[in-house]
Structure 1
Amino acid sequence: MNDTPRTAILHRMVMPEHVCPYGLKARHLLRSRGYAVEDHHLTTREETDRFKAEHGVATTPQTFIGGERIGGYDDLRRHFGLKVSDPGETSYRPVIALFTMTALMAMAAAFAADGTALSIRAAEWFIAFSMCVLALLKLQNVEKFATMFLNYDLLARRWVPYGRIYPFAEGLAGVLMVAGVLHWISVPVALFIGTVGAASVFKAVYIDRRTLKCACVGGDSTVPLGFVSLTENLMMIAMALWMILKPAM
């Protein structure tokens, strides 16, 4: 039995000011697939341009296996039958990751404060932490979020500045709810933005049947507008109503 590893030739940019990350990923992928890699470095811009012209390619890295040019990193993944992500592809992954993390944060905080991870306070903190993190994502680029928000929000379409105000309002309500103070501010804010948001999403998705991306996790969102977006707003409404009813219980 021949245990000699198969050989792949990899040409990638390795310069003092730049090491191509996709070249590193291609080398790792080849090695993980049992290939011995002949790793050729393109150490200057001129050398890289000559290589591209010689092989008629527009990008590096480039991989060759058995004398055949496979191509760049995405082409290499396709060669091995692996999925290649589409940057514009809609995905629920961002919100799943976000809500999973905020749920774990809430349970950790509740355990530290009360000695139990499953409690009413943990549920309250889960919603409040989620509001804070969602606001943080929007605040990374307020203008981009506000522009995307105009695609479906009913109030923002009537009064454009609301799109820029929204992330600050959501963040403020979330922080106050985490602290459990100034309910006279946090409750009306959460109730207002949650109600307007829920009505806007419901109209756009379930009445107008529009296919849009949600601005809930910021202006670069690939999350489809729909049930998850509606849930975000319903959570804010539920939290606000709970804060109102809680003192009477």
Structure 2
Amino acid sequence: MPKDNSQSTREAVLYRMVMDDHLCPYGLKSKDLLEREGYEVEDHHLTSRAETDAFLEEHGVETTPQTFMDGERIGGYEALRKHFGQDVPDEDDTSYQPVIAIFSMALLMALGLSWASFGSLFTLRTFEWFIAISMCFLAVQKLQDIESFSTMFLNYDLLAQRWVRYGYVYPFGEAIAGVLMVAGALVWIAAPIALFIGTIGAASVFKAVYIDKRELKCACVGGASNVPLGFVSLTENLMMIFMGLWMPARAFGWF
């Protein structure tokens, strides 16, 4: 049984699975969190399935790890985070973290390429690379689970609703256009693809969000995202439209 802890020692008792074929990651996270909060951890390893099942039955819980303080059960890792006042987002909560990560990395890569190529961070190619690399990253997000993406995409894309297979084609088109634009090659292929999918996408998002006033999840960062449909997806499509017009104009010396 867990022992009672005195208020002065700040001790915690942790039970976690540590087996030859399984080391519970949440157990390690719980131990790390407790230590960072200044607790001395009495660390109990559950080294077999039978030992784990007996512990679960004894305490009437369904999962490990389990943390005890002052003789009271706090619970698993998320319960421990809540105990220390940390935010524990719900799986359905809106999150812009994937979008921030994608655009931040795209910008840093664009700056790096510009420095390596021209010895300067801020060049015209920096801007072009930023958009093109962003397109590539966004395409990767979709291609990780194209089935989920295409399903979410069907909720709002006007062309996909008429031709379902377009939901499977779209990520490849975005990837091809992005890669060619990074290379600055075959603009006559990249530009029409970007212009076509960007225009259809922008019209679809604008209709769904700003005309029909629908509240949907955005498929722009994959089918499992919690990014709301709206500004982010519209920005993605407007970037493709811009590049679809800008790249041939620059290639033919119109600017």
Residue matched to 1:225: 229
1:245 CA drift (Å): 2.2
* Structure 1 residue 58 corresponds to structure 2 residue 62: yes
Q: Distance in 1 between matches of 2:185 and 2:39?
A: 60
Aligned equivalent of 2:36, options 32, 38, 61:
32
Opposite residue 67 of structure 1, the aligned amino acid is G
- Secondary structure at the aligned position of 1:202 is classed as helix
- Secondary structure at the aligned position of 1:211 is classed as coil
Opposite residue 24 of structure 2, the aligned amino acid is C
* Structure 1 residue 150 corresponds to structure 2 residue 154: yes
Q: Distance in 1 between matches of 2:8 and 2:112?
A: 50
* Structure 1 residue 188 corresponds to structure 2 residue 192: yes
Aligned equivalent of 1:108, options 109, 112, 119:
112
1:219 CA drift (Å): 1.4
Q: Distance in 2 between matches of 1:82 and 1:179?
A: 44
Residue matched to 1:205: 209
1:244 CA drift (Å): 2.8
Pairing 1:18-29 to 2, within 5 Å after superposition: 18-29=22-33
Residue matched to 1:127: 131
The question of whether the paired residues in 1 share the 8 Å contact of 2:188 and 2:248 is answered with no
The question of whether the paired residues in 2 share the 8 Å contact of 1:23 and 1:73 is answered with yes
The question of whether the paired residues in 2 share the 8 Å contact of 1:5 and 1:34 is answered with no
The question of whether the paired residues in 1 share the 8 Å contact of 2:15 and 2:43 is answered with yes
Query: How many residues are matched?
Result: 248
Residue matched to 1:11: 15
1:86 CA drift (Å): 1.4
1:5 CA drift (Å): 3.5
Q: Distance in 1 between matches of 2:242 and 2:72?
A: 60
Gaps in structure 2 of 5+ consecutive residues: 1-5
The question of whether the paired residues in 2 share the 8 Å contact of 1:214 and 1:221 is answered with yes
1:6-35 deviations in Å (ceiling 9; x for gaps): 110000010110011000000011111111
Q: Distance in 2 between matches of 1:213 and 1:5?
A: 48
The question of whether the paired residues in 2 share the 8 Å contact of 1:12 and 1:20 is answered with yes
Q: Distance in 2 between matches of 1:13 and 1:218?
A: 33
Aligned identity (percent) is 65
Q: What's the C-alpha RMSD, in Å, of the aligned pairs?
A: 1.3
- Secondary structure at the aligned position of 2:18 is classed as strand
TM-score for the superposition, normalised by structure 2:
0.95
- Secondary structure at the aligned position of 1:18 is classed as coil
1:220 CA drift (Å): 1.1
1:4 CA drift (Å): 6.0
Q: Distance in 1 between matches of 2:7 and 2:69?
A: 18
The question of whether the paired residues in 2 share the 8 Å contact of 1:52 and 1:59 is answered with yes
Gaps in structure 1 of 5+ consecutive residues: none
Q: Distance in 2 between matches of 1:60 and 1:132?
A: 40
Q: Distance in 2 between matches of 1:167 and 1:153?
A: 13
1:66-121 deviations in Å (ceiling 9; x for gaps): 00111111111111111112122111111111001100100100110011110111
* Structure 1 residue 216 corresponds to structure 2 residue 204: no
* Structure 1 residue 87 corresponds to structure 2 residue 91: yes
1:190 CA drift (Å): 0.2
